[in-house]
Structure 1
Amino acid sequence: MEYQWLIDRVDSIIVNRSKTVILAFLLVTVLMMGGLGSITTESGQEQFIEDLPSFQAVEDIGEDFSPTFSDVTTSTTLVQESGNVLSKGALTDMLETRERILDTNELRAESVSTPAVTVATTLNPNATTPEAHLRAVERASPTQIDAAVREAAADNTGFTSSLSDDFNRGSASATSSRGSVSHIAGPGAGGGGGGGAAGGSEFPSNRVDRTERVVTDDASNIWVQGTAPNTTGTTTSVVLPAALLLIIVFLAVAYRDPVDIGIGLLAIIMTLLWTFGFIGYAGIPFAVLLIAVPPILIAIGIDFGIHSINRYREERVTGLGISESMMRTTDQMSVAFAIVVGTSAIGFLSNVVSAFPPTRDFGLVAAVGIIFTFLIFGVFVPALKVTVDRARENYPIPTFADTPLGSERSLLGRLLSVGVTVSKRAPLVFLLLILVATAGGGVYATGVDTGFSPEDFQPAEETPEYLQYLPESIRPPESFEFVRINNYLDRNYQQDAQVLMYVEGSMTQDSALEQLHRAGRSPPETFRSDRRQAETQSIVTLIESRAERDPEFRELVNRNDRNDNGIPDDNLPQIYEALEEPADSDLSGFLGEDRRSAQVIFTVDGDAEDDVVTADAYDVAGDFRFSAQPTGSVVIFDEALSLVLESVIQSLILTLLGASAFLLFAYWLIEGRPSLGLVNIIPIVVTVVALVASMRAVGLAFNAINGTILAIAVGIGIDYAVHVVHRFADEYHDRELFPALQRTVVGTGGALTGSMLTTVFGIGVLVLALNPALGAFGVLMSLSVLYAFLASILVLPSTIVVWARLTGDESATLPVIDAISALVGSGRTPPSTE
C-alpha cells in the first residue's frame, strides 16, 4: 500500500502554508474552549460501583423502602468523647446539645439520635420531647442512670453499637458515643432519599459548619462529621501548576532556547484545551482518574516536541535550509508519531472493557487526547517552528541554541552507547539474562495484591506541611476532620457490618413471611445469630416487636398463625394494614409500597474477610424462594475488588494483542518487515513485568484507580520503543548494522532522555495529590516511563542485532553462536572444563 504521497502532501502543507495551518489550529482551539464551561465534576467511590448488581440493589432499596412523600434528608454524625460519656454530666451535655440543634431553624434538623436519648427514655418511658429527656436525666441519681444504662444495653443492641468498644456494662461506662442528625433538605435537593440524593448534601447549605457553631462549647467535647471531602478540584489546581513548572525547567534543558520553549508550552496548553473541551462537549464528568490525563498528554506531547525539534536540529547542523530540514523531519517523524498514536490509543481504549465507568471514561478521553496531541505536535508545532525560523532570518530574533541533544563525543552519548556496546560483544547472552530475569520477575509479580475500599478515595488525615505554603485560593486545609473522625470510629467501635437482602416477590402470598424467617435459620459463621437464628431487621421482626407491646395486634397475628411460631401465614394484607397504624410506622422501611419487594437486614462480623461474608451472603440468598440480591458495602466492595484484577488482565491482553497486531501491520506497510513489530514488543514485555514486580516489592496493590497502569505502561512504553526501532529502520537503509544502530541510539536516545526526564518528573508530581491512591498512580506511571526508557536503550540494541542475524545480515555477529559454529565446522571438540 502506497502512503508516501499522503506524507509528502502533509509535509508540503506544513512547510509551504505554515501560516494557514497556524491560523486553522488557533481557530479550532477557540472552538474547543467553548466546551470548558460544560465540565462537571464527580468524586467518591460510587462512580466506580454504580453498574454493579449489588449497587443497583441498594438503589432499588432506596426507592422501594421509604415513604412515598417523605422529605429528602441528609445526615451529620456526632461523636462525643469523655472519660465516661454515660455519666450524668456527659449525658446532660449531649441532651442540651441535641436541644440546641433541634431549636436552630437554619439546621432544618428533623431528629437527633444518640445513646443519651435511649438512657433518658429508659429512665422515663413517658418522656417524648427533648425537654422531657433532659429533665429525666437531670432528676436521676448516678445510681439510677447506671441501672438505666445496663437495662438499655440488655434490651437494645443498637444502643451498644453506638458506644465505643471499651463499653463496660458492669461499670456503665464508655469513653465515646456516636449519634446522628437528620436534616430536612431544602428545595432543589433532588428527589432521592438519603444522603446520596442528587444534590442533597448541599441542603441545608454549610450544614457541617452551622452544626459546629451550635455544638461548640468550651465545656463540651462533641465532634461533627459531615460528608467526605471532595479533593478533585484542589488536587488539579496543585498538580497542574507543579507539573508545568517542572516541565518548563526540563524544556529549558532540552531546548535551551526560549522561543522553542514557548512553542512547546503553547502546544501543551492547546492540547489541554482541546481535551478539556472534548470532555465538556461529550458530557463526561471530571472524576479522579481524569486528573491523570493531563500529565499523560503533557508527557507524550513533550516527547513528540523534543523529537521533532531535535530531529530538525540534526538536519539543520548539516547545513540544510529551513524548508528542506523540516520536510525531512516531518517525513520521518510523522510516521513514528502515527505508530505511537495508534499503539497508545489501543492501550488506552482497552480500558473501555473495564467494569468501572470512570475507567472507561479515562480510556476514551486519553485516546482522544493523544490524537489531539499528534495533530498539534505533528502538524502545528512544525508549522510554527518553520514560521519562527523564517522570521529569524528576516528580523533580529536571537537564536540561543540550535544543536541537538546528544552526540557521540558527549558524556550523554557515551552513556547511551552502552546498549550498543553490549549488542556488539554478547547480544545473545545479554538477552538470555534478560529473559531469565523477566521470567523470574513474572513469577514474583503474580503475587501482587488487589484492593478496593473507600479509603482509596479519601485523602490522608493530615495534609503535608509543604502544601500550606500554597496560595490561599488553592491551599488545602491542614487536616481533614471527616477523615480524622472516620479513623477514630474505625479504631474505637465494634466492626459489625450489615448485609442487606433485596427480596422480590409477592409479599401477600401466605408463605411470604415464613420464607423470610426460614432464610435466617442456621446462618453462616460470619452472620451474627441468636439461638441459631440470624440477627435481622425485617418485616418479620417488626411484626414480632409490635405484637409484644400491642395486645390487639398480637391477637390478630395469633388468629393468622397456623404453626404458632409468631409468624402470620394468612391474611397478610390485613396484617400489613394493621402495621401501618400509627402513621409513623416503620413498615415502609421493610416492605415495598406495591407489596412486591422486601428488605431484610442481616448483622455480620465486620472483622471477617469481605469475600467470605459475600460468599455467605449469596448462600443465604439462595435460601429464599423469591429472588434475593445481597448488597451492602461489604458485598459491593468485594464484588468491585473481584473486578479490579479482571479488568487489569482484560485491558492488558487487549493492549498487547491490539498493539502487536498494529505494529506488525505498520512495519509491514512502512518497511515491508512485519517482524520489526515483534522487536518493538520485547522491551514492552520487560517493562510491564518490571512494573508489576515493583508494585509487589513496595506493597502497592491494584485498585480501581491504578488498574489502568499496565495499559498505560504499554501505551507509553511503545512510544519509546517505536522511536528507536523506526529511526533504526530509517538509518538501516543507508548504513551498515552497527553504524545505523549507533546513530539511532545516540541521536534518538538524546531526545528520549530529555523526554524521559520531563515525563518522569512531570507525571511524578501526582505524588502531590491529596488522594494517596492517585499519588501512588503517579509513582507507577513514572516508573513505567523509566523502565520503558531503560529497556529501549539497553535491551532493544541487542534485540535488533539478533533480529538482523535471523533475517540474514551476516554483519550481525553473535559471538557465542559463531564460536559454536566454528567448532562444529572444523570438527574440533571443545576443550574439557574438568
Structure 2
Amino acid sequence: MIDYEVYVDRLGEFVVGNPGRVVALFFVLTLVFGAGLGNISTDAGTSQFTEDSPAQEALDDVNREFTPAFETSSGSTQLIQRDENVLSKPAMLDMLRLQERILDRPDLRATSASGVASTVAQTLDPSATTLDEQIDALESASPSEVRAATKRATANPQVASLLSDDFNRKSVTASSTIGVVSHEVPGLSSSAGTSGTSPLSGIQEEIQSMTSVADSDIRVFGRGIISSELGNVIADSLLLVVPAAVLLIFGFLVIAYRDPIDLFLGVISLGLAVIWTFGFMGLADIAFSQMLIAVPPLLLAVGIDFGLHAVNRYREERVKDVAPVPSMRTTVKQLSVAFFIVTGTTVLGFLANVTSDLAPIRDFGLVAAVGILFTFLIFGVFLPAAKLYADQLRAQYNVPEFGSTPLGNEGGLLARVLSVGVVIGRKAPRAFLVVILLTTVVAGAYGTGVDTTFSQEDFLPPEEQPAYLQDLPEPFKPGVYTVTKDLNYLEDNFETTQGDSVTIYVEGEMRRDHALEDMYRAGESPPDSFVTEDRRADSQNIITVIQNYAAQDPEFAALVDRNDANGNGVPDDNLETIYDELLASPVSGQASSYITDDYRKTRIVYTVEADASQDEIVADGKVVADELRMGATATGSTVVFKDISDTIFMSAIESLVVALAATALFLVLIYQVLEGKWTLGVVNLVPIVVSLALLAGSMRYLGIPLNALTATILSIAIGLGIDYSAHVVHRFADEYNGTNLDEALRLTVGGTGGALTGSMLTTTTGLGVLAIAITPVLGQFGVVTALSIFYSYLTALVVTPPTIVVWERLTDQNPAASEPAAT
C-alpha cells in the first residue's frame, strides 16, 4: 500500500485553486483537437474487414494471376426486369432499348450487353451482332416467330438461368429476367467486400434514372448500388440516431441534474469528449466506419456516469453545509481514484480489441480507449473546476440554485429501493451467491451457442423499413434503400444468383498428362451446394474454354481429339501444345483468364446454389479442393466472408480472455496499492462475470449473433461493467471503517447507487436508441450494449453487497462487524 493521497491532494488543490485557468486550458486543447475534425474521412462496407484475410489473399492471387496486365478493371450492372411476361416481344424490346441507350452513353463506360432478349434476337438473325440490329430483328419478327426463337434459345441452360424460377418452357412465360451490362472502369477493387466509394456507384445510379422510360419494371442492381447504399446508410443512421439520443439523454439529464447550470456544464463536458475523440481520429488519419458510429454513444455512457457522480458527490457535501471549495476538494479526492480505476479497466476492455486480426475492430478498440482517457481528463479535472468556478460566479452574482439535492438521498424512496442488495447481504448472502453462481453457469453455458455471422447484409438496411421512419420530416427522413429487397428477390426467384460461386485456385504443373483429367473428375458427383448440370458441377475453367473453342475451330478440335485417350472431350496428352495453340488463338484472352502463361496455375469457378448456407458452400469448396492431386485452395467472396466470420468469433474470445485477465490483474494490483486489500479486486470482478454470462445468454435467446460490431461487446461489457461495480466497491472501501459493515453498505448504495441509477437510465436509453438505426448491425449493437449496462448496474447493486459481506467474513476483516445490525 502506498500513500496515493499525496498525489490526489495535489490534484484537488490544483483544481480548486485554479478553476478558471483549468477551464481556459481545456478550451485551448479543444481548439487543438478540433483542428483534426476536418481531416476525418469515411470507410463504409465490408472490404475494410477483408484486408489481411488469408482467404482474401488467395482471392487477390487469383485476380492478379488471371487478369491481364494494364487491363482496365471490369464490372457489371444487372438489370432486373419484371413484367407479366418478360419473354413477350414488347418486354424484350424494352430490355434491348435500355441496353442500347446505356451503350450509347460514353460516360457510362459500357462495353457490352447480354441477356435473354439479345440471345433470342440472335436466334432470329444470327448476323445481328449489335443491339441496333437485334432490335430490328425482334421488331420485324412476328409474335409466333419470336415465340419459336425463344423456345430454341432457352433450351440452353445458361440462357434459362437468366430467367426466374417460374419460367414455363411450354408456354414460354416468365415473370422476371436478368440482363447484364459490362463496364470497363479504372480503380475497381478486387476485394471480396464492398466499399462506400465504388467507381461504379455513380454509373449505376445514372442507369437507374434511365429506367423510368421503359414500360417494364426494371431495377438496376450491382456492386456500385451496394457501395452507394453502404455509404449513405452511415450518414442517415447518424442523422436519425444522434438527435434521438440527444433528446432522450437531455431529458434524463434534466431530471438527474435538476439545475440548468449543472446541466449546461455536463452537456459541455460531453461535447468536449466527443470533439477531442473525433479530432484525434482526424489527426491520426483513422477513417470513420460503421463500427465507429458506436464510439460517441460509448463516450456518452461513461461521460454521463462520471458527470453525475462528480456533481452528486459534490452535492452530498454541500447539503451538509460544507463550503464549495472543501466540498469540491473532497469530491476530487474521492472520485479521482474511482475514476482512475474505472478508466483503467474500461481502457483495458477496449484495448483488448487490438488483438483482433480485423483492422476495423482494432481501430474501434484504439479510438474507444483514447476516447475514454479523454473522458477521464474532462470529467475528472475540467468538470469539477468548471462546477466550482460556476458556483463561485453564482454566489458573486446572487444566481439562485435550483435542484441541488443528491440522487438517492438518505431516507428517500430510491434509497430504499437501492438497498435490496444490502438486505440480501444481511439476511442470506451465501445462499444468494450460490443461486447467482448457478445462474451464471447456466446462462454462460447457454450463451456459448450464440451464432457468428459476417455478410454485407449486416451493413445494409432491412428490406422493409418501419413506417414511422418514412413519416419523419426532412432532413431526418432516411433515403430509399433497395439493395436488400433486390438481393432477396434474386435469391427467392432465381435458381442461381449472379456472383454466387466458389473459386478453386490450383497450383501445379499443368503440363502433366493427368492435370486436366484430374480437374474434370473433380466436377463429377458434386456436393449439394454446387449447381449441377447433367450430374456434373456447373463450372467455368480452362477445360470449358478448350471445349468451346473446339466447337468453333475444326482444326483445333482435331488436335484435341488426337490427344483425348478416353473420348470424354478432355485431352490427356501433349497438353503444352494444346495450351500453346489456345493462347495463340482468337480466344487467347479468355484462356489467359483461366491459366497462367507458365502453365503452373489455373482456376476453376463453380456456381453454387443461391439458397445454400455460407458454411455449406465453404465446406463443399474445401472438399473439392482437397480431392485435386495438385495444390488447391478454395476462395471467392463466400469463402472470404466465412473466414472473416470465423475470425470475428476468435477475436471475440481472444479479446474477452485478454480483457478479463488484464482487468483482473489491474484490479488486484490497484486495490493492493490503494487499500492494501487485493481481494477487493476479486470482489469487484464478481458482478462483471455474472453480467457477462447473462449478456451471452440473452444474445442467444434474442437471436443476436456475434457479428462485426457485436463481437466487441464482450470486452466492452467488461469495460463498462467495471464502471458500475468499481464505484460501489471503491465507495465502500472509503466508507468502511472496519466496525460497521451494514452502515458502510447503506451509505454506499444510498449515495453511489443514486448516481448509478441516473447514469444507467440515461445511457441505456441513449445507447438503446441505436436500435432504430437503419443498419441492422448498429441496431443489434445498441440493444446488446444497453443490456450490458443494465446487467452491470443490476449486478453492481444487487450482487456486490452480498459478495462484500461474504468477502468480509472470509477475510476476517472484523468478525463483529458482520453481525446483523440492530433494527
- Give me the TM-score of the superposition, normalised by structure 2: 0.93
- 2:336 alignment partner in structure 1: 334
Look up the equivalent residue of 2:294 and give its one-letter code. A
- 1:201 match: secondary structure: coil
- Name the residue aligned to 2:411: 409
Q: Which residue of 2 aligns with 1:201?
A: 198
1:418-441 deviations in whole A, cap 9, x for unaligned? 221221122222222222222222
Distance (whole Å) between structure 2 residues aligned to residue 576 and residue 515 of structure 1: 20
2:47·2:191 contact (CA, 8 Å) conserved in 1?
A: no
| Unaligned runs of at least 5 residues, structure 1 | 816-834
Displacement after TM superposition at 1:782 (Å): 0.6
Q: Is residue 2:362 matched to residue 1:360?
A: yes
Change (3 A) 1:718 1:29: same
CA gap of 1:254–1:630, structure 2 versus 1, over 3 A, is: same
Q: Which residue of the partner structure matches residue 348 of structure 1? A: 350
Q: Can you give the 5+ residue segments of structure 2 that lack an aligned partner in the other structure?
A: none
Between the two proteins, what is the percent identity of the paired residues? 47
Using the TM superposition, give the Cα deviation of residue 657 of structure 1 relative to its aligned residue in structure 2, in angstroms.
1.5
Other structure's SS at 2:321 match: coil
Equivalent in the alignment of 2:7: 6
The answer to whether structure 1 residue 687 and structure 2 residue 688 are counterparts is no
Moved more, 581-590 or 790-799: 581-590
* 1:14 to 1:592, Cα distance in 2 relative to 1, 3 A: farther
CA distance in 2, matches of 1:524, 1:77: 28
CA–CA distance in 2 between the matches of 1:197 and 1:476?
21
TM-superposed deviation, 1:495: 4.0
Measure how far apart 1:521 and its partner are: 4.2
TM-aligned CA deviation for residue 574 of structure 1 = 6.1
Q: Residue 762 of structure 1: CA displacement?
A: 1.0
Is the Cα–Cα contact under 8 Å of residues 457 and 771 in structure 1 kept in the other structure? yes
User: Which residue of 784, 787, 794 corresponds with 2:798?
Assistant: 794
1:676 and 2:673 aligned: no
Asked whether the 8 Å contact 1:271–1:373 carries over to 2, the reply is yes
User: What aligned pairs does 1:587-602 form with structure 2 within 5 A after superposition?
Assistant: 587-592=591-596, 595-602=599-606
1:217 Cα deviation after fit? 2.5
Between the aligned partners of 2:496 and 2:107, the Cα distance in structure 1 is: 34
In the aligned structure 2, how far is the partner of 1:576 from the partner of 1:132?
36
Q: Structure 1, residues 188-213: CA drift from partner, whole Å, max 9, x if none?
A: x526569989897345x733343233
Q: 1:84·1:176 contact (CA, 8 Å) conserved in 2?
A: yes
8 Å contact 2:81–2:176 — kept in the other structure? yes
Aligned residues of 1:561 and 1:570 also touching (Cα < 8 A): no
Moved more, 365-374 or 563-572: 563-572
1:612 aligns to 2:608 (yes or no): no
**Contact kept in structure 2, 1:416 and 1:745, CA below 8 Å:** yes
What amino acid sits opposite 1:770 in the alignment? I
Determine helix, strand or coil for the equivalent of 1:80: strand
What does 1:169-568 correspond to in 2, within 5 Å? 169-185=169-185, 189-190=186-187, 192=189, 201-202=198-199, 206-217=202-213, 219-226=215-222, 227-228=225-226, 229-230=229-230, 231-468=233-470, 470=472, 472-477=474-479, 479-495=480-496, 497-507=500-510, 512-530=515-533, 533-558=536-561, 561=564, 565-568=568-571
TM-aligned CA distance change 1:458 to 1:139, over 3 Å: same
Q: Which residue number in structure 1 is paired with residue 576 of structure 2? A: 572
For 2:408 and 2:110, how far apart are their aligned partners in 1? 69
Q: What residue number does 2:23 align with?
A: 22
Instruction: Check the 8 A contact 1:73/1:195 in 2, yes or no.
Output: no
Deviation of 1:783 after TM superposition, in Å, equals: 1.0
Q: Distance in 2 between matches of 1:197 and 1:298?
A: 31
Return the alpha-carbon distance in structure 2 between the equivalents of residues 665 and 626 of structure 1: 56
For 1:151 and 1:73, the matched residues in 2 are separated by 31
State how far apart, in whole Å, the 1-side matches of 2:615 and 2:37 are: 42
Aligned CA distance change for structure 1 residues 503 and 38 (closer, same or farther; 3 Å) = farther
Letter in 1 for 2:371: G
Task: Report the residue type matching 1:85 in the other structure.
Answer: V
Q: Measured at CA, do residues 505 and 282 of structure 1 come closer, stay the same or move farther in structure 2, by a change above 3 Å?
A: farther
Corresponding residue SS for 1:466: helix
Could you tell me whether the CA contact under 8 Å between 1:110 and 1:181 is conserved in 2?
A: yes
- 1:334 CA drift (Å): 0.8
Cα 1:767/1:526, change in 2 over 3 Å: closer
Q: Residue 810 in 1 paired to residue 815 in 2?
A: yes
> Which secondary structure state, in structure 2, belongs to the residue aligned with residue 629 of structure 1?
strand
Aligned AA for 2:606? F
Distance 1:565 1:202 in 2: 44
- The correspondence of residues 53-202 of structure 1 with structure 2, limited to 5 A, is 53-155=54-156, 157-185=157-185, 189-190=186-187, 192=189, 201-202=198-199
Which shows bigger deviation, 798-807 or 108-117? 108-117
Report the AA paired with residue 331 of structure 1: K
421-430 vs 538-547, which deviates more? Answer: 421-430
Structure 2 counterpart of 1:572, one-letter code:
E
Structure 1 CA distance, aligned partners of 2:178 and 2:103? 17
Secondary structure of the structure 1 residue equivalent to 2:81: strand
Q: 1:784 offset after TM fit, Å?
A: 0.9
CA contact (8 A) 2:348 2:662 kept: yes
Match of 2:753 among 744, 749, 755: 749
Q: What's the TM-score, normalizing by structure 1?
A: 0.92
Following superposition of structure 1 onto structure 2, how do residues 611-650 of structure 1 map, counting pairs within 5 Å?
611-650=615-654
Q: CA deviation at 1:124?
A: 2.3
Using the alignment, how far apart are the partners of 1:194 and 1:366 within structure 2? 27
Look up the SS of the partner of 1:222 in the other structure.
strand
SS in structure 1 of the partner of residue 606 of structure 2: strand
Q: Is the 8 A contact 2:505 2:601 kept in 1?
A: yes
Does the residue aligned with 2:452 lie in a helix, a strand or coil?
A: coil
Contact (CA 8 Å) 1:72, 1:194: kept in 2 or not?
no
Structure 2 letter corresponding to 1:164: S
DSSP-derived class of the 2:465 partner: coil
**Deviation at 1:603?**
2.3
**Against the structure 1 CA distance between its residues 734 and 390, is the aligned structure 2 distance closer, same or farther, given a 3 Å change threshold?**
farther
Residue in structure 2 matching 1:732, options 736, 740, 749: 736
Cα distance, 1:778 vs structure 2: 0.2
490-499 or 27-36: bigger deviation: 490-499
CA distance in 1, matches of 2:319, 2:197: 64
CA distance in 2, matches of 1:584, 1:780: 55
User: Per-residue CA shift, 1:156-185, capped at 9, x if unaligned?
Assistant: x32122111111222222110012222343
For residues 682 and 622 of structure 2, the distance between their equivalents in structure 1, rounded to whole angstroms, comes to 46
Name the aligned partner's letter for residue 443 of structure 2: G
Larger mean Cα displacement after TM superposition, 251-260 or 496-505 = 496-505
> Cα distance, 1:564 vs. partner?
5.3
Distance 1:629 1:281, change over 3 A: farther
Residues 296 and 603 of structure 1: is their aligned pair in 2 closer, same or farther, counting only changes over 3 Å?
same
Q: Is the 8 A contact 2:738 2:817 kept in 1?
A: no
Distance of aligned partners of 1:485 and 1:615 in 2 relative to their CA distance in 1, 3 Å threshold: closer
Q: CA deviation at 1:464?
A: 3.0
**SS of alignment partner, residue 178 of structure 1:** strand
Change in 2 beyond 3 A, CA 1:141/1:694: same
- Decide whether the 8 Å contact of 1:645 with 1:702 is kept in 2: yes
| 1:74 and 1:195 in contact (8 A); partners too | no
Greater mean alpha carbon deviation, residues 235-244 or residues 634-643: 634-643
Counterpart for residue 783 of structure 2: 779
CA contact (8 A) 2:421 2:801 kept: yes
* Contact residue 101 and residue 215 of structure 1 kept, 8 A: no
Give the CA deviation at 1:682.
1.2
Provide closer, same or farther for how the CA distance between residues 169 and 326 of structure 1 changes in structure 2, counting only shifts above 3 A.
Answer: same
* Alpha-carbon distance in structure 2 between the residues aligned to 1:573 and 1:616: 33
Give SS of 1:541's match: helix
- Is the counterpart of residue 719 in structure 1 residue 723 in structure 2? yes
Q: Kindly tell me: are residues 378 and 594 of structure 1, through their superposed partners in 2, closer, same or farther at Cα, counting changes over 3 Å?
A: farther
TM-fit CA distance, 1:512: 4.4
* Post-superposition offset of 1:292: 0.6
The number of equivalent residue pairs is 809
